[in-house]
Amino acid sequence: MKFSIMVNEGPYTHQASDTAFNFTKAALEAGHEIFRIFFYHDGVNNGTRMTIPPQDDRHVVNRWSELAEQHGLDMVVCVAAAQRRGILDADEAKRNGKDGDNIAPGFRISGLGQLIEAGIQADRLLVFGD
């Protein structure tokens, strides 16, 4: 089965990102394909490399980055939602005159068309949020 995943809440406040991560990992282990993971609403906050959780807790952002590296996942952060919330890659920072970027490894910034395409291409699109 080919899945697309949508994550609509940020790390820690809600469980949505954890559940999406666990589902993605389990699906990959079971031999399924993940077409794309799309981060929207506060879900874009999963894509900042600046988070510093306590050492005795899981690192939600790094966990996504590591899974993406292991499996070559396509993790997309919505550009409009990201700009509202201060998630920037180097290009966006330069274009908008900001003094730094914060996108985490394995994430890329792109448009909402990537979400619609993910819905069209996958057998199932799963939405994780509140």
CB of 58 to other proteins, least distance (A): 25
Active-site residue set = 78
CB of 77 to other proteins, least distance (A): 13
From CA 70, how far away is CA 53, in angstroms rounded? 22
Spatial separation of the C-alpha atoms in residues 30 and 124, rounded to whole Å: 16
Nearer to other proteins, 43 or 106 (CB): 43
Residues 82, 88, 38: CA angle, nearest 5 degrees? 45
Other Cβ atoms closer than 10 A to 47: 31
Q: Which two tokens stand for residue 81?
A: 């939602």
Binding residues vs other proteins (CB under 8 A): 6, 40-41, 80-81, 111-113, 115-117, 119-121, 125, 127, 129
CB of 56 to other proteins, least distance (A): 31
When the beta carbons of 67 and 75 are compared against other proteins, the nearer one is 75
Nearest to other proteins of 65, 114 (CB atom): 114
Secondary-structure breakdown of the chain: helix, strand, coil percentages, each rounded to the nearest 5: 40, 20, 35
